[in-house]
Amino acid sequence: MVRILVTGASGSVGRHVAAGLAALGHDVRAMTRSGTAAGGPTNIEVVQGDLAVPETLRGPLLGVDRVYLMWPGIAVEPRAVELIAGSAGRVVYLSTDVADLETGESATHFHQEVERLIRMATPSWTFLRAIDFATNALAWSSQVKDGVVRWPYGRAARSLIHEQDIADVAVRVLTSDGHDGAKYVLTGPEAIEHAELVRIIGKAIGRVVRWEDLPPEAAREQLTAAWGNPAFVDSRLRAWAAFAQTPERVTDTVQQLLGRPARSFREWARDHAEDFR
């Protein structure tokens, strides 16, 4: 039996990874910043650790064979990545759809930097490049409750993936061989326009929810106020504008790894219906 450390174990993906590994009988150590986790299987060891403070990782990494790593939206701490990658026999990193860095090239996204640090520290790694989470649609929850979602680029077609599928892939990669050096791009089974995603959510909760296109300039102002990162807002607006012209790509990676299709957005909406009520 291997011992597997799950970071971000209280997050939307990490909690499913920890539960999935525990269900298979693995020795699971779940790391959270608080050292506590709400609910979940009782046969999981919960420990405290903070990726922003490398010295707090020594205890959680003690005796660990494999690590599921999720880096939150904080500054990259190279020593933390080096400790994790150097201590574990295998690292499975939840990344995003980023390009590989050429030698000497500067990272434009923190996921690129974390990937580079992992590659430098260990030969046994796998990157799960999830394009975008269906859980990001929860940003619409308050507007859904009002019956109208005002957002830019209603025709932007997205291939959002269910967080449970990401977790199921992570569990498979952590517990089977043949994945070293793989960069798996994970998506949902189809690309669906923003306005249709909202209609699907409405159907899941049994009410009509309308889409109303928000002009990009108005969206930039609102989202910058909400997110506090103008560069990130601009990158999102550019991406959505592109997806209104060319749908976000769809891969069959989930099917190939799990032997079943990825869950649909309709399934995700049903699973999260209470979040929109």
Say what the pLDDT of residue 43 is.
81
End residue of a domain, out of 80, 111, 130: 130
Q: What is the mean pLDDT of each run of 10 residues along the chain (277 residues)?
A: 90 94 94 76 86 94 95 89 90 88 67 90 94 94 96 96 98 96 97 97 96 95 91 91 96 97 97 95
Q: Does 208 lie in the same domain as 107?
A: no
pLDDT score for 39: 63
Q: Quick one: pLDDT at residue 47?
A: 93
| pLDDT score recorded for residue 93 | 96
As for how many domains the chain has, the answer is 2
pLDDT for 104: 64
- pLDDT value at position 16? 96
pTM of structure:
0.93
Is 144 found in the same domain as 84?
Answer: no
At 51, which CATH number?
A: 3.40.50.720
Residues 109 and 208 in one domain: no
* pLDDT tens, position by position, 122-136: 899 999 999 999 999
Q: Are residues 125 and 17 in the same domain?
A: yes
Residues 140, 240: one domain?
Answer: yes
> What local confidence, expressed as pLDDT, does residue 38 receive?
62
Specify whether 119 is located in the same domain as 151: no
Determine the pLDDT at residue 103.
60
CA angle, 153 as apex, 152 and 156 as ends, to 5°? 140
Query: Do residues 149 and 212 make contact, with C-beta atoms less than 8 angstroms apart?
Result: yes
pLDDT digits (tens, 9 = 90+) for 183-231: 999 999 999 999 999 999 999 999 999 999 999 999 999 999 998 889 8
Structural domain containing residue 215: 134-159+189-249+264-276
Q: Are residues 103 and 215 in the same domain?
A: no
